[in-house]
Amino acid sequence: MGKAIEIKGLVKRYGKFTAVDGIDLDVESGSLFALLGENGAGKTTTIKATCGLTRFDAGEIKVCGYDVKSEYGEIRKIINVAPQETAVAARLTVKENLLLSADLYGIADRARTAAKFIDEFGLREAENKRAGTLSGGMQRRLSLAMALVPEPKVLFLDEPTLGLDVRARRDLWRELKNLKDRMTVVLTTHYLEEAETLSDGVAIMKNGKILVCGTAEEIKKRAGEYSFEEAFLKITGDDYAQN
């Protein structure tokens, strides 16, 4: 299927601080890829650079074959970002939020588009409720549906289930699994079980570098651990990083 994202030698500095230090990363089209690391590892900066939201100092990034620096206009047409904070308008109903998204993205048949995502995300009973009255899990589901309105080829998710209870998180996982056949999904998360359960590929970052990249099973084998959490802790530990 080819590469949805190709990163070569990416460097991003903030003054004297190097946030991303010469990383290489490929993400296959149609896959769900997880970018992991402790706070300050360089995950968010990598995502922002890939989305064209921040300039970088060296390297090359391509999204679906388009160069981020010289063809950003084309990239904007095929990507979308679902931020950590829900993007819903609290005073609008579920249906009105989706209609507004369709308007913003220039969708011709906005009513049909809204109905499609209401059904797909199980929002029919809540369609006429104000978004601000919904549970956190329902708001996050609506926010994800809104990000999908323009049908992006690549979707970036920043901590999509942060703050949700176990049941709401599992419900959203089902929605995320269903996306893989339709687009490439790149997510950052602190929930290691989430990355292990959902992802086709994982990269673990520390101090602006990628320490390891592969499937969750490959990473566990490399670390010599049965638990993905233990593998993550070993790989990101100071002793392991120096080897």
- 160 and 67 in one domain? yes
**208 and 44 in contact (C-beta within 8 Å)?**
no
Q: Model confidence at 242, in pLDDT bands (50, 70, 90)?
A: very low
CATH number, domain at 158? 3.40.50.300
> What are φ and ψ of residue 116, in 5° steps?
-60, -45
- 174 and 141 in one domain? no
- 189 and 166 in one domain? yes
Give the residue from 134, 151, 168 where a domain finishes: 151
- 143 and 25 in one domain? no
- 116 and 218 in one domain? no
Residue 163 per-residue DSSP state: T
User: Domain range spanning residue 224?
Assistant: 3-78+154-241
Give the residue from 104, 132, 151 where a domain finishes: 151
Question: Among 14-18, 34-38, 120-124, 215-219, where is mean pLDDT lowest?
Answer: 120-124
Write the CB contacts of 54 (distance below 8 Å, at least 6 apart in sequence). 12, 45, 48
With 50 as the cut, is the pLDDT of residue 243 above it?
no
Both tokens of 207, joined, read: 């101090």
Question: Among 36-40, 89-93, 170-174, 220-224, where is mean pLDDT lowest?
Answer: 170-174
- 11 and 47 in one domain? yes
Give the residue from 127, 151, 175 where a domain finishes: 151
pTM of the model: 0.90
Q: Report angle CA 128, 133, 137 to the nearest 5 degrees.
A: 100
| Average pLDDT score, the chain | 92
Start-end of H helices in the chain: 43-50, 72-76, 94-104, 110-120, 136-148, 166-177, 192-198, 216-223, 228-236, 238-241
Pick the closest to residue 100 from 85, 117, 84, 75 (CA basis): 117
Q: What is the pLDDT of residue 240?
A: 66
Radius of gyration of the chain measured on its C-alpha atoms = 18
- 177 and 136 in one domain? no
- 135 and 49 in one domain? no
- 235 and 190 in one domain? yes
Q: What is the pLDDT of residue 26?
A: 97
Q: Model confidence at 201, in pLDDT bands (50, 70, 90)?
A: very high
Q: What is the pLDDT of residue 167?
A: 87
With 80 as the cut, is the pLDDT of residue 239 above it?
no
- 142 and 35 in one domain? no
Across 133-152, average pLDDT: 91
- 74 and 187 in one domain? yes
How many domains would you assign to the chain? 2
- 217 and 204 in one domain? yes
Cα four-point dihedral sign 73, 116, 201, 20: positive
